[in-house]
Amino acid sequence: EGGRAAALAIFVCIAAPGETASGAHDARDVAAGHGVAHDARAVRSIERWLALGSPAGRASSMDEDVDRVVTLRTTGSELAFEPARLSLETGTRVRLEYVNEGVLPHNFVLLKSEDDLDALGAAAYEAEATGYVPVDRADALIAYTALAPPGETVSVTFEVPAPGSYTFVCLFPGHYNVMLGTLRALNPARR
């Protein structure tokens, strides 16, 4: 399992924005050379994305008037959000800034229900034109950023939903099984 993730990381690293589609073929060779399986579906999806000019899509932002600014980041070749847990009061208007200090492209997608994770992860493979956000399933999403290339910051503003626990995820191909976090929406404090 770890080997598979490493192979995907190698692949995506080589096929990062700015690379040509031939980089994807090189990546297949790299993955094969490591003797580990890789996700052929992710390879095809990323090849299509490269052929389109690596579109970033766009964030689902509401108005810019916010109560809180929250920063998440990723560093190096990690497939992780830091922090991976957020706690915010329901109704808080948040600007979430996602700082990509990693070597791979990533996005931040907040789901209404974790039950949709597998379906959305699968749909994202076909969503290369919209920065790997399946916008035709927007009913299942609370908020999402554009795709952040390595070294860039993207943001989105949204209102923290009803009390409960919500999953956020990166939907770049090959990441959604591991690059996950949780937003706890808390009952507003009584004053």
> Which residues contact Cu ion (rule: CB under 5 A)?
106, 170, 172, 175, 179
Taking CB atoms, the residue at the shortest distance from Cu ion is 170
Provide, rounded to whole angstroms, the least separation between the CB of residue 132 and Cu ion: 9
Nearer to Cu ion, 98 or 158 (CB): 98
Nearer to Cu ion, 127 or 185 (CB): 127
Provide, rounded to whole angstroms, the least separation between the CB of residue 73 and Cu ion: 12
Nearer to Cu ion, 42 or 185 (CB): 42
Q: Is the bond preceding residue 83 a cis peptide, omega within 30 degrees? A: yes
Provide, rounded to whole angstroms, the least separation between the CB of residue 92 and Cu ion: 25
Provide, rounded to whole angstroms, the least separation between the CB of residue 171 and Cu ion: 8
Using CB atoms within 10 Å of the CB of residue 136, give its burial: 0 to 12 exposed, 13 to 18 middle, 19+ buried: exposed
- DSSP helix, strand, coil percent of the chain (3-state; round to 5): 30, 30, 40
> Under a CB-based contact definition with an 8 Å cutoff, are residues 50 and 19 in contact?
yes
Closest CA to 50 of 177, 152, 144, 147: 147
Nearer to Cu ion, 58 or 93 (CB): 58
Nearer to Cu ion, 31 or 80 (CB): 80
> Under a CB-based contact definition with an 8 Å cutoff, are residues 131 and 107 in contact?
yes
Provide, rounded to whole angstroms, the least separation between the CB of residue 4 and Cu ion: 15
Structure-token match 């096929």, residue found: 15
What backbone torsions phi and psi does residue 161 show, to the nearest 5 degrees?
-75, -175
